[in-house]
Amino acid sequence: MTDPAMPAIFGTAPKTTTLDAPRSDLPELLTALADDLRNVGYTVDGVAGLLGESAHAALARDQLIPALIATEPADSAGDPATDGAKAALAVVVRLWLLAVPQTEDDVDAALPRIRTSGLVELGLVEKNDGGAVAAKVDLRPYGWECDSGADNSGSGGAELWVSSDLAAHQQPGVLRHDHVLGIGQASTTLVQTTIRRHSKRALDLGTGCGIQTFHLLHHSEHVTATDISERALAFTRFNLMLNAEALRLDPADLESRVSLRLGSLLEPVAGETFDLVVSNPPFVITPRSAGEHSSDQFTYRDGGLPGDDIVANLVRTLPDVLAPGGTAQMLGNWEIPAGSRWSERPASWLAGSGTEAWFIQREQVSPELYAETWLQDASEGRDRKLYRAAYAAYLEDFASRNVDAIGFGMIWLRRPESPRPGDAPARFEEITYPIEQPIGPHLAAAVERADWLDAHELSEAHLVVAEDVTEERHQRPGAEHPGVILLRQGAGLRRTNLLSTELAGFVSACDGELSVRQLIGALAALLGGGDDFDDDAFRAGLLSDVGNLVRDGFLLPAA
């Protein structure tokens, strides 16, 4: 069903086509749906309470059986009011989260304002051959308490409902190629990674079902959301209109806060600049074949370029749409050729750009594991012949470029306030262990510390040890001195730093009283004096090590 309001989304009328997406041009029905979902308790907490901890955790892993068992109609009679409320919520959960068809009478009783007829008109359900009500989309509760770290952004919590296509575990067969992805691990990772500060103009590049836009609206005056898929933009518009009240949007004047634009990558925003860009782009490295068309690709994950070119192109071009001082945060894959360090290829994308960058690699996998992950993602393993051919194509594609492994991680970019000569600072870290979430506030603090180091003379600073830092000392039994001294962070990126004797002594004396220069001088006097002691090298090396501890958040400027 084509949404009559769709041309307003894109600025120009789309081609005559059946988008097969929920309608967003029926405000009365959207209001009725929101009221019904709220009244039946279809919230994150409501669903968790209905299912119980174990079944809810299993559902988060796309395992439906425990939730199916938990929502089966009770045989024994209990409190009619309580049992009736639970039964109504169970109908909604089974309909949309578990994709189990429900009777029309049960749906009408659970959602009395919109009823089955309204859901059909919105394109959310359909009647199957047996007359039961079957979900056409996934419609699930989503919420957050707050976006920590936002600066005067009004970013309080929100309870929303988010529609997307039914996922692989909710339907048979291979996913459709224009599949609109729901809320997944990658999208929530980007949500948790994004630094939340007030911005006048933000860009959600490749919005999908709109999850990044929902968060951006809580600390940005205006958000532009783009996608190459008309269906994705239709889902996003539906989600915005359904949640207009929670997102503080005027349904009659959506453009005052949100602009939805159709197009590839940065084409829809050419010539514009933004304070913040976030993107979960279609970064999956997929074998390309001769004569391939875009309709042969999974638009939510395949950028249509060979190898990791889509991520490389974005790293090179995103600074063009950043205002001075503006930042971009995205997720991505990068290929690691045999015999090279993982950081070499990402570093080559930055050469001569003048863009500040920070890459954090969170995972590294073999070509075989990479192929298995993404073939399973689209349920391509359900067709044995297709799976064999596709798996072989992945391995051949990686081998053609001598790729030994594939990295996944987070990327932060910043356009400097003013151009600087030479290459801008770039940092490459591999952090594969669990970190604190959301990590965005800690990344923001790290950026602030780096800026502080650039603006201050470290030797004259007075430092203290951060509150979350602890020290570990390890030594052989009977040894006079420890052989290993470690500093550990209990928060944020949870780094561990191996200390030299002099650096351990410096940290132990950081109480804010003496300056860095004074402490280094005292340690030089205590540990030096020998004929082979190089005082200048000692002081310079220790000052550099202290700078690294400040940059990583082990040491902080005294208040």
Dihedral angle, C-alpha 509, 511, 515, 518, nearest 10 °: -30
* pLDDT for res 294: 55
Which domain covers residue 114, as residue numbers? Answer: 22-139
Higher pLDDT, 148 or 275: 275
- Report residue 434 as tokens: 């669990």
Segment 26-42 shows an average pLDDT of: 97
Residue 291: pLDDT band with limits 50, 70, 90: low
* pLDDT for res 13: 33
Rounded CA gap, 308 and 302, in Å? 10
Tell me which of 92, 120, 139 is where a domain ends.
139
For residue 343, what are the contacts with CB-CB under 8 A and spacing of at least 6?
Answer: 359, 361, 428
Contact indicator for 46, 52 with CB cutoff of 8 Å = no
* pLDDT for res 5: 40
Segment 274-283 shows an average pLDDT of: 95
Segment 352-378 shows an average pLDDT of: 92
Largest CA distance in the chain: 93
* pLDDT for res 79: 53
pLDDT digits (tens, 9 = 90+) for 46-89: 999 999 999 999 999 999 999 999 999 865 455 555 578 899 99
- Name beta bridge partners: 283: 302
In a domain, 550, yes or no: yes
Q: Is the pLDDT of residue 170 over 90?
A: no
Contact indicator for 303, 254 with CB cutoff of 8 Å = no
Rounded CA gap, 218 and 455, in Å? 31
Which phi and psi (to 5°) does residue 135 adopt?
-70, 135
Residue 352: pLDDT band with limits 50, 70, 90: confident
In a domain, 35, yes or no: yes
Which residue type, as a one-letter code, is found at position 411? I
Higher pLDDT, 479 or 542: 542
Which residue type, as a one-letter code, is found at position 321? V
Q: Is the pLDDT of residue 436 over 90?
A: yes
In a domain, 422, yes or no: no
User: How many residues are listed for the chain in this entry?
Assistant: 559
Q: Calculate helix-pair angle for 27-39, 115-122, nearest 10 degrees.
A: 130
Q: Is the pLDDT of residue 329 over 90?
A: yes
- Report residue 331 as tokens: 């997720």
Q: How many domains, in total, are found in the chain?
A: 2
Rounded CA gap, 559 and 86, in Å? 53
In a domain, 230, yes or no: no
In a domain, 509, yes or no: yes
* pLDDT for res 9: 47
Q: Is the pLDDT of residue 7 over 70?
A: no
CATH number of the structural domain spanning residue 521: 3.90.930
Tell me which of 116, 139, 162 is where a domain ends.
139
Q: What is the end-to-end Cα distance of the chain in Å, rounded?
A: 61
For residue 252, what are the contacts with CB-CB under 8 A and spacing of at least 6?
Answer: none
Contact indicator for 195, 327 with CB cutoff of 8 Å = yes
Q: Is the pLDDT of residue 1 over 50?
A: no
Coil vs helix vs strand at 226: strand
Residue 174: pLDDT band with limits 50, 70, 90: confident
Q: Angle at CA 113, nearest 5°, toward 109 and 118? A: 95
Coil vs helix vs strand at 489: strand
The whole-model pTM stands at 0.91
Rounded CA gap, 109 and 532, in Å? 87
Coil vs helix vs strand at 461: coil
* pLDDT for res 293: 61
pLDDT digits (tens, 9 = 90+) for 191-249: 999 999 999 999 999 999 999 999 999 999 999 999 999 999 999 999 999 999 999 99
Closest Cα to residue 329, out of 341, 344, 320, 318? 318
Q: State the chain's mean pLDDT as an integer.
A: 90
In a domain, 475, yes or no: yes
Tell me which of 139, 164, 191 is where a domain ends.
139
Coil vs helix vs strand at 365: strand
Segment 318-332 shows an average pLDDT of: 97
Q: Which pairs from 296-303 meet CB under 8 Å and 24+ separation?
A: 296/177, 297/177, 298/175, 298/177, 298/179, 298/378, 299/177, 299/178, 299/179, 299/228, 299/229, 299/232, 300/179, 300/180, 300/181, 300/208, 300/229, 300/232, 301/181, 301/374, 301/377, 301/378
* pLDDT for res 65: 96
In a domain, 534, yes or no: yes
Contact indicator for 184, 304 with CB cutoff of 8 Å = no
Rounded CA gap, 239 and 235, in Å? 6
- Report residue 456 as tokens: 């201050």
Dihedral angle, C-alpha 171, 174, 179, 181, nearest 10 °: 60
In a domain, 547, yes or no: yes
